[in-house]
Structure 1
Amino acid sequence: MKELLVHSGGNRYPVKKNAKNHPKTFLSLCLLAIGTLTSVTLLTTYPVFAQEQATEKLPVTNSDYIQKVLEAKLMDNLPDGNFYPERLISRAELASILVKAFYLDKRQAAKQEKAIVVPDVPNYYWAYQDIQTVLKTDIMKGYRGNMFFPNQKVTRAEGLAIFAQAYGVFQFPDQTIKEILTPYPDVAYIPNWARRAIATVISEGFINTDTNGNINPLSPMTRGDMAYLLSKYLQRQQKQAETPIVPTILQF
């Protein structure tokens, strides 16, 4: 009896050529193959949504950090006057924060007059200009079809990597990146594309972890996480401003 082979997900499934049961079995396996291909297509077309990686949540950010960020006007309380550090950050919110924190609208690339067409961000959207700025400066990127998904929540890996992109990613060699990341228990969960950027954030002392020292890169980024990150950035900027300049002594 001859066998047919149906391919799906890299595997080959033998199907006996029998007039009685072949049509049903063959149809089922074809549907399986189509389903596999559809899943791959969706993964390459649409973003992966933030999901919980670990059961233990990151500790709520200290109120001092939040106050520093509020005073710097990099983030705001919500309309009811509360900050809600546990709430999640969306892509639109991240774009708005980064434009303010790094003065992205002052960069030369942001000044190009031609607008980028973003189907899901009309020109009356509250963060339209900020999204245009992060796209023009290449700090953030859209998805297939120039979709931005402004309301999509970002993972910590995404948020940290995009922050590092605005800050300036250090071009560490691979060995240095490994040395920086290895001490963290969940290093295996850090996506390859985010390793250098997260190593940059760690080396600058901007990272916050849970009580076990985990980065939780696949967990959603919260407003508290962002407040901590920004407060450490502000602290670094202040230290640099206060560093005295040693005059050069000319010798004759």
Structure 2
Amino acid sequence: MKSTVFKKTAQVTVMMLIISALLPVLAFAATGFSNLVYKNNTVTGNVYTDNPYSVNTQVYMYDPNGNKVGSIPITSATYSVYEGVYSYSFTGTTVTRQTYIDLEEESQSVTGRVYDTTSNGNNNNNGGSGGGGGGGISNGATITVNSDGSIDANTLQNALSQYDIVELKLNGDVALIPAKALVNYVSDKNKTLKISSEKGTYTLPLYVLKLDDLASKLSTTVDDLKIKVGIAAVDETSTNEIATSATALGATVISSAVDFTLAAVAADGTTQNIDLGSNYINRTIPLSKEVDPSRTTAVVFDTTTKKLSFVPSLFTTTDGINEAVIKRNNNSIYTVIEMNKSFNDSKGHWAQGYIELLANKLVIDGVTDDSFQPERDITRAEFAALVVRALGLDQSNGSSSFNDVTSGDWFSGVVGAAVNAKIIDGYEDNTFRPNQSITREELAAMVVRALSFVGAKPEVSSSEQSDLLAKFTDTNKIVWAQNELAVAIQAGIVDGITDSTISPNTQATRAQSATMLKRLLTKVNFINN
């Protein structure tokens, strides 16, 4: 009898040792992922927990941008007496090497990541962790917004305490975000809200919100303040006006028009638009097809002038999902158009590709419908207009005090917008000289200031400046913009007229201007390469 007991005890001990060798040690974690495997576009694994989950628990899948791409139901659990946990298995198909998985069930939340790092396409990632931690960007929390836009402050605050990126899933057209839930996170550069619906998404980094200033302007407190984010379809009248404007340009509208709004709201309903300054934040609009980025652009619709204008935008296709990613420091109505513009006098020109690309994006215009005049000098006002368009700046609020710029001039708005963005300044006699041909030195200075405005200006030391300019034999002709030219060269935006000459005082041509603008837009990631 005793021998039998010892034998059975030994068998159990051996079995326990085998189990302990096969399973990850989970005793100190209440919940997590285990045995994650990615292979052939499929992820399999287990969710473990010390409390059983409901049958409705889902494992959610996200792409690297934080977009939810699917969900997987967990299946029946097995219970390990030795580990003291329930283990639920799941299998998700049609995933990529960089799919994030996230468990959401009532108050429980845990995130893991699946990716391929081995030659045979497998990667095992045992265990997981709840919350952010580790210094990386943590994704995963999703909060469903009520149809009236309301959001529970405690739920949002708890999500932000665990995750860097929190998705707010709209049931209607608006989210009314309680500011008091954001107070502890507005100084954290990683904390971001992603407001989403089938119409599009709005990515709101919390550091752009000056909550105390907004509350003061509305004569309220942060506790009573809400941040209103809207993603709404436009009405039929605006849709028709947009189509008419596109047709006049020779373009075709290829997406729905979406009205993105961002404002602060007091308890009495008073609103204050939020000024984003030079912060270019992302919005996305879904597209029904893959597009050619060289012939496609996102545009902003001006409801007053009924005109369409370029806005910085990238076009992506991920796992068959096509999107336009719009980058701008303002809010309005956006849509996407396609066009195929060319000029007879630019065919075969060295800058033809740049000219046609920017014409299709509404950054540059022809002198006529068929003529661009690539070798014609460009004026200071004309180039200021191009830079303002390239940055998607709002021209309606621009004003300047130059003696030779009046409100009736066609360039008044662009000059004012460029002054506000610190892209241009005038001469000592307080003139701008808008009709004077711009030199390559002046053009480089405007481009570098544009880089500075969007936070992409590279730093160039005195020694680096000397090295960058040393190969040119005519740098003694640079009047005042030595550093600006060096920075523009370092950024890959300006190069020499020849291998040994920079020609700083030569008048810049329309073709050179188009080339530098294209390089600027590529450098700051405002267009696809």
Structure-1-length-normalised TM-score: 0.63
User: What is the CA-CA distance between 1:240 and the residue it aligns to?
Assistant: 8.7
- Distance in 2 (CA, whole Å) between partners of 1:239 and 1:72 is 11
Task: Please tell me whether residue 221 in structure 1 is matched to residue 482 in structure 2.
Answer: no
Residue deviations 1:213-235 (CA, integer Å, cap 9, x gap) = 42111100110111111122233
CA deviation string 1:175-194 (max 9, x = no partner): 01111111223222223x31
Q: Which amino acid aligns with 1:82?
A: S
Residue of structure 2 in register with 1:74 after alignment: 363
Corresponding position: 1:121 with 2:405: yes
Q: Structure 1 stretch 197-206 or stretch 217-226: which is displaced more?
A: 197-206
Change (3 A) 1:235 1:146: same
Q: Distance in 1 between matches of 2:484 and 2:373?
A: 27
* Contact 1:96–1:127 (Cα < 8 Å) also in 2: yes
Aligned to 2:463: 175
Cα separation, 1, equivalents of 2:408 and 2:389: 20
Q: How far apart, CA to CA, are the structure 1 residues paired with 2:383 and 2:426?
A: 14
Sort the Cα spacing of 1:144 and 1:175 in 2 relative to 1 into closer, same or farther, 3 A: closer
Residue 119 (structure 1) shift: 2.8
Check whether the contact 1:102–1:167 (CA below 8 A) recurs between aligned residues.
no
Query: Which of these two proteins has the greater Rg computed from alpha carbons?
Result: 2
| AA matched with 2:392 | Y
Q: What residue in structure 2 maps to residue 150 of structure 1?
A: 434
Gaps of 5+ in 2: 1-348
Conserved? CA contact 1:87–1:222, under 8 Å: yes
- From 491, 505, 508, the equivalent of 1:204 is 491
| Letter in structure 2 aligned against 1:165 | R
Residue 134 (structure 1) aligns with: 418
Residue type at the aligned position of 2:431: M
Deviations for 1:33-91, whole angstroms, at most 9, x for unmatched residues?
xxxxxxxxxxxxxxxxxxxxxxxxxxx64211211121222111112521111111111
Which piece of structure 1 moves more, 156-165 or 177-186? 177-186
Which position in structure 1 is the counterpart of 2:341? Answer: none
Q: Which has the higher contact order (CA 8 A, sep 6+)?
A: 1
- Report the RMSD for the aligned CA atoms in angstroms: 2.5
Q: Partner letter of residue 73 of structure 1?
A: L
Compared with structure 1, are the counterparts of its residues 154 and 238 closer, same or farther at alpha carbon in structure 2 (3 Å cutoff)? same
Aligned residue type for 1:121: V
Deviation of 1:111 (Å): 5.0
Alignment check: 8 A CA contact 1:189 1:217 kept: yes
Helix, strand or coil at the partner of 2:413:
helix
1:90 aligned partner? 379
Which residue number in structure 2 is paired with residue 54 of structure 1? Answer: none
* Counterpart contact for 1:208–1:225, Cα < 8 Å: no
Mapped to 2, the partners of 1:119 and 1:68 lie a distance apart of 35
Alignment-mate amino acid for residue 67 of structure 1 = E
Q: Distance in 1 between matches of 2:362 and 2:492?
A: 22
Q: Does residue 519 of structure 2 align to residue 232 of structure 1? A: yes
Distance in 1 (CA, whole Å) between partners of 2:351 and 2:401 is 40
Query: If each structure's helix is expressed as a fraction of its own residues, which one has the higher value?
Result: 1
Distance change in 2, residues 1:230/1:61 (3 Å)? farther
User: Do the aligned partners of 2:355 and 2:515 also contact (CA within 8 Å) in 1?
Assistant: yes
Is 1:62 the counterpart of 2:351? The answer is yes
Aligned counterpart for 1:102 among listed residues 374, 391, 408: 391
Relative distance call for 1:217 and 1:127 in structure 2 (3 A) is same
The 1-side partners of 2:359 and 2:435 are apart by 22
Partner of 2:145: none
TM-score (norm 2): 0.31
Distance across 2 between alignment mates of 1:84 and 1:213: 27
Question: Which stretches of structure 1, 4 residues or longer, exceed 6 Å deviation after superposition?
Answer: 239-242
Distance 2:425 2:439 in 1: 15
For residues 240 and 116 of structure 1, what CA distance do their matches in structure 2 show?
29
Query: Unaligned regions of 5+ residues in structure 1, if any?
Result: 1-59, 243-252
Within 2, Cα distance between the matches of 1:62 and 1:132? Answer: 29
Rounded to whole Å, the distance in 2 between the matches of 1:141 and 1:176 is 26
Letter in 2 for 1:230: L
Shift of 1:103: 2.8
